[in-house]
């Protein structure tokens, strides 16, 4: 009802920032990407400082017991083709903050982005949220400088909270990792430090259409901002009304044009969580079968999936100017994609309930296709994920979004995946396999709020398609 | 908007069933409770059939590897006064179904209840949902008879789904246990088997005000039925609208008269989940310190909390007429209670974010006071939970609900807790400690839908206060 007044929506439509143009920001990024002070080099294990392989377990740990560790898990499940396996996984139980500081200028909300160097980034420097801080960061475990702007996120008297949600990270690589995704709005005068810029949501949405410019943490936070257009707004309100009214509970036709009601989606997800079992046992890294370690890598003997490597980093302007750390290096470039379709006039996205070993709660809602751990190019046809061809072989006029995006540059070494949103063909059936469901953008916005519903791959795409169509 | 037509609400106000009067149902229950065929006897471990203590771990397990087991956990947390402990816990990873079959008679929804014998029940027989089936039950692991009415819950062509949610059970006793809570409505002719009765929600709400008549599984399912009165309905719709509209996101004043917006509650819960850490490691039962085992009990050496015992059961009319099994026996009677208060004219309940070791996700929303594991009567004043006196010492005219209710009779041996809802005094402050929050009934209804928000103790009380006041 107040959509016209909506500050998010207005700022999402404002593609001209008050402080820096989008082209100028890209130029500045290019200069920083070429900064000769930034150096990242893969090194052998003996050159990692502070890190060691625990004698008893073989786990790769930091001497302080903080940051993160590489350990092993044994997985049993009835989901998918492989019932049982072991693998290395990143264990990082502390919850960090990924946060955008926001402020209105002439009524338009601007977010403070940072052009940030991270060792794993494709292009070395990408745009990050204002604050990207592990708990170790902000409790100064690494004895670096204070995290800039953190005070706005910790002290609610200095900025009001617009978004504050727990969101999961890659369930194939992290064991139950989550971060706190925040947007806080201040009315204080804010000093703009070197490398930081105020940009509108509209500018960010233009930048997210470029390859490897907006980093994963930023995309994750952006996905939590519900950009309700007039159409969605009405849909949302009616749909919300249907949820408040048990009279329509369970009826076959959902309000707001959605194919399924909110309660039907909960029931669908409940049934799948009952059907699929996931047992994950933490084991010593040395007991992980099929994997080996040499002097510079932990790798799967058949070359599949990913390796763990050590890197040495120089980054003159970061809190800590030089350090070494382990990183995960993928073996293949992957693809994640949503199929989208208007069904009876309402925009829907095809969501996949996907089990990954690091999930907190068995299943999370994933994109239609998420194929980042194995090589889909090398797979046998019968092993390919459902709908892969609908994504990859779509004619250009049905591709709504396509860009390469990097995974988190603090843990993943030069990992990029093809992100796509593809309009399904006219003849694409509304009826889909049991693990899939069509959801409207308003429904996706709603489920995102509750932790551990949408996985990070889905959120990365949702961030890119956040702006409702003018249709 | 359609509240007047709402079948749930209408049936909740219909205290006269079509098939059996509430008094007659209580009389029948009394007859069954006195059935001489029902016998439950505590026995020594050597008389348990099919159960054994695993040699390596000391865990109490069934020879088939099914049903459940008693194992150990080591808990570390920064929540509460005790940072580290070990304890026995019930491990039951399979997800069962707790379900009410519903059907309209002359437009009024009736639920099919069963007068069911369970070994742990106070009074032996209580009213249960139509179906109460572990997966072992319905996959016939115990070679008993087929679970009656189960087909309506598994085959959606025979009954439409009104409610279908995953809900947690006692986090102090179970390790991440959940059941599927369902209500399905059929229009078929349904045979009414011995011990089953069609009753209205109004009848159930009258029965739930009695001590130990409506069992825990029934109360859990009943809590998922949103009984929106006209006032709440309007509040729900406005509140839902506020969620769809980011314009009001984060504003200090919530729509629908709620003290906090939905997003503010999510932020509050996010912050607490970040602040509190819970690490739970599964350990062999034999390594659980401070506990011992004799020939008929596993018990804490200081006599606190609970014991595990073995029972021998005779129950002529159950699927399996006789069996033996372990059960958990509490050492003390506990109390759970909600404080409630009208704030600026809107009904609110005081919710406590509580950490329990079996929680899937660190914290769940609990009643204002939940004191069932230790003896509050014996505790030192400074160890008493917050607000206990506001509940226990309230003058009678402020007690909105008080009844003894049993915990689940299939696992807990004669455990009853005092359930209370108490109107806070006029001078009770709206400002509360950081782990507490005021929520409206509409907000509680909404959060219940998403799994692992409200714990079973809170849901038990919510079931009892489900019917909105006429005010």
* 471 residues of chain B, pLDDT tens digit each: 333 337 787 788 888 878 999 999 999 999 999 999 999 999 999 999 999 999 999 999 999 888 899 999 999 999 998 999 999 999 998 899 999 999 999 999 999 999 999 999 999 999 999 999 887 676 665 555 688 999 999 999 999 999 999 999 999 999 999 999 999 999 999 999 999 999 999 999 999 999 999 999 999 999 999 876 544 433 333 333 333 333 323 333 456 799 999 999 999 999 999 999 999 999 999 999 999 999 999 999 999 899 999 999 998 766 678 999 999 999 888 999 999 999 999 999 999 999 999 999 999 999 999 987 566 666 677 778 899 999 999 999 999 999 999 999 999 999 999 999 999 998 998 899 999 999 999 999 999 999 899 999 999 999 998 655 544
Q: Which residues of A touch B442 (CB under 8 A)?
A: 244
Q: Which residues of B touch A270 (CB under 8 A)?
A: 164-166, 180, 451
Choose the closest CB to B164 out of A245, A248, A266.
A266
Distances in whole angstroms, Cα of residue B378 to Cα of each of A73, A275, A445, B316, B448: 44, 45, 49, 40, 33
Residue of A nearest to B5 (CA): A247
| Cβ pair B257, B440 in contact under 8 A | yes
Rounded Cα distance, B301 and A136, in Å: 40
Burial A273-285 (b: 16+ CB within 10 A, else e): bbebbbebeebeb
Rounded Cα distance, B353 and B435, in Å: 5
Q: Which residues of A touch B226 (CB under 8 A)?
A: 244, 246, 249
Q: Are A166 and B244 a contacting pair at CB < 8 A? A: no
Side-chain-side CA neighbours of residue B17 (13 Å): 23
Q: Are A165 and B266 a contacting pair at CB < 8 A? A: yes
pLDDT: is A229 or A449 the higher one?
A449
Tokens of A242: 């249907």
Q: Are B266 and A240 a contacting pair at CB < 8 A? A: no
Q: Are A240 and B245 a contacting pair at CB < 8 A? A: no
Q: Are A228 and B244 a contacting pair at CB < 8 A? A: yes
Residue closest to A424 by CA, chosen among A361, A340, A353:
A340
What are the extents of the domains in chain B? 4-38+93-232, 262-278+333-464
Min distance A201 CA to chain B CA atoms (Å): 14
Q: Which residues of B touch A228 (CB under 8 A)?
A: 244-246
- Chain B within 8 Å of A457 (Cβ-Cβ)? no
| Cβ pair A261, A249 in contact under 8 A | yes
- Chain A within 8 Å of B245 (Cβ-Cβ)? yes
* Structure confidence at residue B17 (pLDDT): 78
Which run of H or of E encompasses B217?
A: helix B216-222
Q: DSSP secondary structure string, B230-291?
A: HHHHHHHHHHHHHHH-GGGTT-SS-GGG-SS-HHHHHHHHHHHHHH--EEEEEE-GGG-TTE
pLDDT greater than 60 at residue A452: yes
Q: Which residues of A touch B360 (CB under 8 A)?
A: 360-361
Residue of A nearest to B224 (CA): A246
Choose the closest CB to A273 out of B166, B279, B453.
B166
Q: What is the pLDDT of residues A338-380, one digit of tens each?
A: 999 999 999 999 999 999 999 999 999 999 999 875 666 666 7
* Structure confidence at residue A247 (pLDDT): 30
- Chain B within 8 Å of A450 (Cβ-Cβ)? yes
- Chain B within 8 Å of A246 (Cβ-Cβ)? yes
Burial class (CB in 10 A: 0-12, 13-18, 19+), B184: buried
- Chain B within 8 Å of A185 (Cβ-Cβ)? yes
- Chain A contacts in chain B segment 35-74 (CB below 8 A): none
Residue of B nearest to A442 (CA): B244
Min distance B42 CA to chain A CA atoms (Å): 33
* Structure confidence at residue A381 (pLDDT): 75
Tokens of A156: 């609610």
Residue of B nearest to A97 (CA): B274
CATH of segment(s) B4-38+93-232: 3.90.79.40
Rounded Cα distance, B345 and A23, in Å: 53
Q: What is the pLDDT of residues A208-222, one digit of tens each?
A: 999 999 999 999 999
- Chain A within 8 Å of B449 (Cβ-Cβ)? yes
Distances in whole angstroms, Cα of residue B275 to Cα of each of A183, B79, B363: 18, 9, 11
Other C-beta atoms lying within 10 Å of the C-beta of residue B396? 6
| Cβ pair B74, B281 in contact under 8 A | yes
- Chain B contacts in chain A segment 355-384 (CB below 8 A): 360-361
Min distance A305 CA to chain B CA atoms (Å): 29
* Structure confidence at residue B255 (pLDDT): 64
Q: Are B3 and A247 a contacting pair at CB < 8 A? A: yes
Rounded Cα distance, A169 and A179, in Å: 8
Q: Which residues of A touch B159 (CB under 8 A)?
A: none
Q: How high is the ipTM of this complex?
A: 0.91
A4-38+93-232 and A262-278+333-464 agree in CATH topology: yes
* Structure confidence at residue B146 (pLDDT): 80
Q: Which residues of B touch A7 (CB under 8 A)?
A: 246-247
Q: Which residues of B touch A166 (CB under 8 A)?
A: 270, 273-274
Min distance A40 CA to chain B CA atoms (Å): 32
Side-chain-side CA neighbours of residue A304 (13 Å): 13
Residue of B nearest to A179 (CA): B274
Q: Are A237 and B249 a contacting pair at CB < 8 A? A: no
pTM equals: 0.91
Q: What is the pLDDT of residues B174-197, one digit of tens each?
A: 999 999 999 999 999 999 999 999
Choose the closest CB to B250 out of A2, A5, A160.
A160
Asked whether the CA dihedral B384, B390, B396, B400 is positive or negative, the reply is negative
Q: Which residues of B touch A453 (CB under 8 A)?
A: 450
- Chain A within 8 Å of B266 (Cβ-Cβ)? yes
Q: Are B246 and A226 a contacting pair at CB < 8 A? A: yes
Residue of B nearest to A181 (CA): B270
Q: What pLDDT band is residue A12 in, cutting at 50, 70 and 90?
A: confident
Q: Which residues of A touch B2 (CB under 8 A)?
A: 245, 247-248
Q: Are A247 and B7 a contacting pair at CB < 8 A? A: yes
3-state secondary structure of A243: helix
- Chain A within 8 Å of B78 (Cβ-Cβ)? no
Q: Are A451 and B361 a contacting pair at CB < 8 A? A: yes
Number of H helices, E strands in chain A: 11, 24
Rounded Cα distance, B303 and B280, in Å: 23
pLDDT greater than 50 at residue A1: no
**Cα angle: A390, vertex A465, A271; to 5 degrees:** 65
* Structure confidence at residue B320 (pLDDT): 77
Other C-beta atoms lying within 10 Å of the C-beta of residue B385? 17
Q: What is the pLDDT of residues A227-245, one digit of tens each?
A: 765 444 333 333 333 333 3
Q: Are B164 and A249 a contacting pair at CB < 8 A? A: no
CB pairs under 8 A between A and B: 166
Min distance A9 CA to chain B CA atoms (Å): 9
The architecture in CATH of the region B262-278+333-464 reads Alpha-Beta Complex (3.90)
Min distance B158 CA to chain A CA atoms (Å): 14
Q: Are B250 and A185 a contacting pair at CB < 8 A? A: yes
pLDDT exceeding 70 applies to what percent of chain A? 87
């Amino acid at each position: 009802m107040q959509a016209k007044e909506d500050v998010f929506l207005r700022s999402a439509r404002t593609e001209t920032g008050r402080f820096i143009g989008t082209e100028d920001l890209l130029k500045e990024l290019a200069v920083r990407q070429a900064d000769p002070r930034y150096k990242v080099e893969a090194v052998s294990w003996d050159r990692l400082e502070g890190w060691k392989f625990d004698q008893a377990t073989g786990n790769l740990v930091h001497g302080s017991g903080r940051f993160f560790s590489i350990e092993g898990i044994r997985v049993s499940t009835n989901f998918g083709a492989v019932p049982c396996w072991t693998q290395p996984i990143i264990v990082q139980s502390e919850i960090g903050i990924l946060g955008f500081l926001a402020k209105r200028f002439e009524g338009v909300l601007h977010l403070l982005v940072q052009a940030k160097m991270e060792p794993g980034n494709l292009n070395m420097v990408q745009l990050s949220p204002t604050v990207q801080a592990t708990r170790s960061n902000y409790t100064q475990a690494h004895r670096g400088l204070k995290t800039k702007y953190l005070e706005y996120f910790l002290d609610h008297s200095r900025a009001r909270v617009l978004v504050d949600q727990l969101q999961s990270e890659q369930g194939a690589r992290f064991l139950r990792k989550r971060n706190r995704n925040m947007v806080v709005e201040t009315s204080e005068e804010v000093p703009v430090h070197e490398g930081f810029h105020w940009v509108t949501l509209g500018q960010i949405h233009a930048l997210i259409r470029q390859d490897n410019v907006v980093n994963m943490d930023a995309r994750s936070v952006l996905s939590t901002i519900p950009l309700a257009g007039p159409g969605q707004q009405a849909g949302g309100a009616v749909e919300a009304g249907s949820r408040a009214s048990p009279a329509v509970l369970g009826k076959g036709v959902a309000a707001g044009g959605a194919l399924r009601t909110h309660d039907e989606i909960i029931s669908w997800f409940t049934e799948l969580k009952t059907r699929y079992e996931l047992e994950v046992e933490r084991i010593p890294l040395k007991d992980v079968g099929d994997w080996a370690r040499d002097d510079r890598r932990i790798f799967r003997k058949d070359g599949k999936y990913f390796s763990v490597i050590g890197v040495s980093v120089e980054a003159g302007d970061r809190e800590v100017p030089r350090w070494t750390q382990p990183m995960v290096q993928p073996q293949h470039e992957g693809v994640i994609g949503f199929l989208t379709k208007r069904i009876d006039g309402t925009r829907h996205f095809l969501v996949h309930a996907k089990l990954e070993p690091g999930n907190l709660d068995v299943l999370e809602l994933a994109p239609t296709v998420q194929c980042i751990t194995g090589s889909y190019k090398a797979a046998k046809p019968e092993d390919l994920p459902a709908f892969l061809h609908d994504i990859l072989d779509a004619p250009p006029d049905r591709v709504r979004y396509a860009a390469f995006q990097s995974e988190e540059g603090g843990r993943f070494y030069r990992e990029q995946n093809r992100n796509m949103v593809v309009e399904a063909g006219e003849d694409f059936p509304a009826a889909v396999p049991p693990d899939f469901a069509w959801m409207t953008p308003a429904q996706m916005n709603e489920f995102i709020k509750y932790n551990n519903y949408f996985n990070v791959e889905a959120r990365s795409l949702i961030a890119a398609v956040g702006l409702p169509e003018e249709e």
